[in-house]
Structure 1
Amino acid sequence: MTDTTHQPQAQGKEDGLIGRFLRATELDPRLIGMVGALFLIWIGFHAYGALFLGEGSFLTPRNLWNLSVQTASIGIMATGMVLVIITRNIDLSVGSIVGVTGMYMGLLQVEWLPQMLGLGHPAIWIITVVFGLLLGALIGAIQGGMIAYLSIPSFIVTLGGLLIWRGVAFLAAGGRTISPVDPTFALLGGGPYGAIGAMGSWIVCAIACVGVIWLVLNGRKNRRLHGFALRPVWAEWFMGLLGCGFILGATLVVNAYPWPKGILQQYYQALGQDVPEDAFIAHGYAYPVLILAVVGILMTILMTRTRFGRYVFAIGGNPEAAALSGINTRAMTVKIFTLMGALAGLAGVIASARLNSATNALGDLDELYVIAAAVVGGTSLAGGVGTIYGAIIGALVLVSLQTGMVLIGFGDGSYRKIVIGAALVLAVWLDIVYRKRIK
């Protein structure tokens, strides 16, 4: 069978250079729009600071590094919320699940396990992480079972869960703040020691670039094998260079952010040395960011390469038809909410580790930001449409808005809530307009 490539045909005025480029590269126009909006937000906040505050502090390695860490927990939960919303459900309890799992993980590693295993035992943080994931999954399974087998709307079940689990979190420790957490566990929240450094980041960069090149080559091989039209060679090169360029740029940014002077002094004092004048130790990629990347990759594979993912989209497109075709929609609902709960538990790990404590405010209002991130990222509330990478970008957009407003002096939470709410409404309106245009 001979290879075929895309041959753009004249389609009137709309078939211009941009249209041919999008068809050749197969880039999602909505993805381009989200990335463009993200860059506009970044440039806008940086320019505002430079013009009116005397210094542009947004597009700096320090802020971008912190931005990536702050996005991690919301982004992780947003990947699960995509599945929930695609199947025409909602989960309002994820913030409270973060709170209750974080609180019990705090009690486990600070008060319970040290008495059984000994203070500083190397297994404490492992047991704590596994416990948090299992507790979150259990809560999700309970709620999913009520939705699937008792026919209670997901809005009601998870609204009740929002209140119940927040109350359980408060009662677990009597309103106390549990701190400090296990030192190894705390590394999962980021910080100077919670990152892999410059060398580790370059290794990750090299592995990721090899992965991008493999995906491009393997995709072309599969197209040829199954007789699908091939993308033009220049488009394959463009996608490979785009992916590698993004990874290389991100690595340069995280390696340009040095350890603070105070941490450097502690580090060299522990070595019994004076701090060199030209001392520079890069943070590199933080552990929460790497965890988000792994979750994003695994969730994308789950949604695009497995039967589970096909079932999710089938249920979201037409639940009745999916049930008639033999899909066990009830069991799928339980599985989806179980996965959502486990991801909320993982977010609880990162959030409590980053704070080095478990507090009653942990995860407060996170459910709203997670839902907003999924919707801003292109997940349709009508069901059947959504992407994992879109949800992660949506989380980055929302966190960028919050961070940018703090940097330009609008640190009051009221302003941030107004902006996030407006962004959510705007995203839904744009989704409605887009869906009407493609019909």
Structure 2
Amino acid sequence: MSEPVQAAAPRRSLWQALGVDSRLLGMIGAFVVLCLVFDVITDGRFLTPRNIFNLSIQTVSVAIMATGMVFVIVTRHIDLSVGALLATCSAVMGVMQVWVLPQSMGLGIGHPAIAPLAMASGLLAGTVIGAFNGWLIGYQRIPAFIVTLGGLLIWRNVAWYLSDGQTLGPLDKTFVLFGGIEGTLGDTLSWAVGGLACLGVLWAIWRARADRIRHDFPVKPLWAEALIATLGVGTILGFVAILNSYAVPAARLRREFRLRGETMPEGYSEVFGLPISVLMLIVVAVAMTILARRTRLGRYIFAAGGNPDAAELSGINTRMLTVKVFALMGFLCGLSAIVAQARLQNHTNDIGTLDELRVIAAAVIGGTALSGGVGTIYGAILGAVIMQSLQSGMAMVGVDAPFQNIVVGLVLVLAVWIDIQYRKRTGEKS
């Protein structure tokens, strides 16, 4: 009996030393298997730098909203209006760029104030509408399901009336840079950002260890910290290397040189590098993680989601907290509208269609409990990446769009079932 116990002990101590979240590990494993399967089926086209680049910019708008949806669901609410709200924010920015600023205010095409003013209008519209939703839910006690279901119908059609049902374009050239294809950092800047991100990972690991030592909490062995740091740094540098291996087509480079009245030198080449939109997602992810883990507002959000009655008795203003959470969700919808509109390079009436379902699915697949109190920012982003990879892979294989939605729906239900079983087994709240 003693030998089996001794043989099993090292395995348990390894997992305990690394502090690995088994749910996160399972998601990463599923993502890796998904990518490998699609790469085999598509004869190696799925994991090419070009497709990874496209996947990254296609994921950004949903992933940004998914980080906000984590807070909404953690506080035991739901927001079914995010796709429609994105459309309204997009319509406001489109009207500002195409009609208001150039025609009514007389700003010439390419004026440096157009892009920031348009972005500010979209972010303000999203924040105000989100705060209004929160006020109806928090202070008027109307269920979030009803408020946001009504908002889904209202704001989608408000967007239609704002644009008179037209596609709005062309957009300001500076604004378009935030979509991904037109706005990238290139080789050198991408490596610089990657280096800063690596330093950030190392600093975060060191800071967390120092905090645990200062408060006399148990810490991981140094080899475990070094292994986690190596994996984090390796992932960042690998991602940057892949993006920097995607070369700008020669025809596009020749066209750009020709527009400048120049001739492209023989053998000249450029790479896309890190898209500005992906950099925005990274900044949002870091900011939302800090908000969740390091601020009073974040602690209040998870406390109210875990036990609303106890939170109120402890002095937390849960009504104002609801307003703040939905205002933040509205702000992130405006930010996602910037990315989505810039990527499409115009405002269309169907922009953001079904995004509310994709956003909720990303958060839930990422481990956010619909009963509230549990959720992570990195999980929601990984959920968005998995969903986009699934849809992109099926499209490359030639699967029809209706069947793609069927598969995504099945994956969502399966993910929730797995999460429920996991929480039952570990004794967590489901």
Q: Same fold (TM over 0.5)?
A: yes
- Please say if residues 22 and 29 of structure 1, whose CA atoms lie closer than 8 Å, have aligned partners that are also in contact: no
**Match for 1:87: what amino acid?**
T
Tell me how far apart the structure 2 counterparts of residues 13 and 366 of structure 1 sit (CA, whole Å).
Answer: 51
Deviates more, 1:258-267 or 1:240-249: 258-267
Question: Which residue does 1:21 correspond to in 2?
Answer: 14
Pair 1:126-2:116 in alignment: yes
Query: Which structure 2 residues correspond to residues 309-324 of structure 1 after superposition, within 5 A?
Result: 309-324=298-313
- Please say if residues 22 and 28 of structure 1, whose CA atoms lie closer than 8 Å, have aligned partners that are also in contact: no
Question: Which residue does 1:62 correspond to in 2?
Answer: 50
Pair 1:426-2:414 in alignment: yes
Tell me how far apart the structure 2 counterparts of residues 320 and 29 of structure 1 sit (CA, whole Å).
Answer: 31
**Match for 2:93: what amino acid?**
M
The correspondence for 1:30, drawn from 23, 31, 51, is: 23
Query: Which structure 2 residues correspond to residues 349-428 of structure 1 after superposition, within 5 A?
Result: 349-410=338-399, 412-428=400-416
Runs of 5+ consecutive residues of structure 1 not aligned to the other structure: 1-9, 51-55
Query: Which structure 2 residues correspond to residues 76-225 of structure 1 after superposition, within 5 A?
Result: 76-115=64-103, 116=105, 117-191=107-181, 193-225=182-214
Question: Which residue does 2:276 correspond to in 1?
Answer: 287
- Please say if residues 198 and 282 of structure 1, whose CA atoms lie closer than 8 Å, have aligned partners that are also in contact: yes
What SS does the corresponding residue of 1:77 show, helix, strand or coil? helix
- Please say if residues 109 and 172 of structure 2, whose CA atoms lie closer than 8 Å, have aligned partners that are also in contact: no
- Please say if residues 114 and 120 of structure 1, whose CA atoms lie closer than 8 Å, have aligned partners that are also in contact: no
Identical pairs, percent: 51
Question: Which residue does 1:5 correspond to in 2?
Answer: none
Tell me how far apart the structure 1 counterparts of residues 177 and 10 of structure 2 sit (CA, whole Å).
Answer: 48
Tell me how far apart the structure 2 counterparts of residues 414 and 13 of structure 1 sit (CA, whole Å).
Answer: 53
Change (3 A) 1:122 1:11: farther
Question: Which residue does 1:4 correspond to in 2?
Answer: none
**Match for 1:199: what amino acid?**
T
What SS does the corresponding residue of 1:385 show, helix, strand or coil? coil
Question: Which residue does 2:32 correspond to in 1?
Answer: 39
**Match for 2:289: what amino acid?**
T
Q: Using the TM superposition, give the Cα deviation of residue 276 of structure 1 relative to its aligned residue in structure 2, in angstroms.
A: 4.3
Q: Using the TM superposition, give the Cα deviation of residue 354 of structure 1 relative to its aligned residue in structure 2, in angstroms.
A: 0.7
Tell me how far apart the structure 1 counterparts of residues 8 and 279 of structure 2 sit (CA, whole Å).
Answer: 40
Change (3 A) 1:418 1:266: same
Tell me how far apart the structure 2 counterparts of residues 13 and 379 of structure 1 sit (CA, whole Å).
Answer: 37
Give the TM-score, by structure 2 length: 0.96
Tell me how far apart the structure 2 counterparts of residues 13 and 160 of structure 1 sit (CA, whole Å).
Answer: 60
Pair 1:436-2:424 in alignment: yes
Change (3 A) 1:318 1:57: same
Tell me how far apart the structure 2 counterparts of residues 338 and 17 of structure 1 sit (CA, whole Å).
Answer: 48
What SS does the corresponding residue of 1:364 show, helix, strand or coil? coil
Tell me how far apart the structure 1 counterparts of residues 378 and 277 of structure 2 sit (CA, whole Å).
Answer: 17
What SS does the corresponding residue of 2:380 show, helix, strand or coil? helix
RMSD: 1.6
Q: Using the TM superposition, give the Cα deviation of residue 16 of structure 1 relative to its aligned residue in structure 2, in angstroms.
A: 4.9
Give the TM-score, by structure 1 length: 0.94
Change (3 A) 1:401 1:18: farther
Change (3 A) 1:14 1:296: farther
- Please say if residues 250 and 269 of structure 2, whose CA atoms lie closer than 8 Å, have aligned partners that are also in contact: no
Q: Using the TM superposition, give the Cα deviation of residue 273 of structure 1 relative to its aligned residue in structure 2, in angstroms.
A: 4.2
Deviations, residues 268-327 of structure 1 (Å, cap 9, x unaligned): 324544444533211010011000000000000000111111111111111111111111
Change (3 A) 1:303 1:135: same
Change (3 A) 1:11 1:80: farther
Deviates more, 1:156-165 or 1:193-202: 193-202
Question: Which residue does 1:72 correspond to in 2?
Answer: 60
Tell me how far apart the structure 2 counterparts of residues 108 and 301 of structure 1 sit (CA, whole Å).
Answer: 33
- Please say if residues 85 and 330 of structure 2, whose CA atoms lie closer than 8 Å, have aligned partners that are also in contact: yes
Tell me how far apart the structure 2 counterparts of residues 12 and 145 of structure 1 sit (CA, whole Å).
Answer: 57
**Match for 2:349: what amino acid?**
N
- Please say if residues 148 and 331 of structure 1, whose CA atoms lie closer than 8 Å, have aligned partners that are also in contact: yes
- Please say if residues 196 and 287 of structure 1, whose CA atoms lie closer than 8 Å, have aligned partners that are also in contact: yes
Q: Using the TM superposition, give the Cα deviation of residue 262 of structure 1 relative to its aligned residue in structure 2, in angstroms.
A: 2.4
What SS does the corresponding residue of 1:59 show, helix, strand or coil? coil
What SS does the corresponding residue of 2:232 show, helix, strand or coil? helix
Q: Using the TM superposition, give the Cα deviation of residue 231 of structure 1 relative to its aligned residue in structure 2, in angstroms.
A: 1.1
Q: Using the TM superposition, give the Cα deviation of residue 11 of structure 1 relative to its aligned residue in structure 2, in angstroms.
A: 11
Q: Using the TM superposition, give the Cα deviation of residue 236 of structure 1 relative to its aligned residue in structure 2, in angstroms.
A: 1.2
Tell me how far apart the structure 1 counterparts of residues 290 and 7 of structure 2 sit (CA, whole Å).
Answer: 34
What SS does the corresponding residue of 2:42 show, helix, strand or coil? helix
Question: Which residue does 1:300 correspond to in 2?
Answer: 289
Tell me how far apart the structure 1 counterparts of residues 268 and 139 of structure 2 sit (CA, whole Å).
Answer: 61
What SS does the corresponding residue of 2:243 show, helix, strand or coil? helix
Change (3 A) 1:17 1:34: farther
Deviations, residues 170-219 of structure 1 (Å, cap 9, x unaligned): 1112211101111100110011x300001000100111111112122222
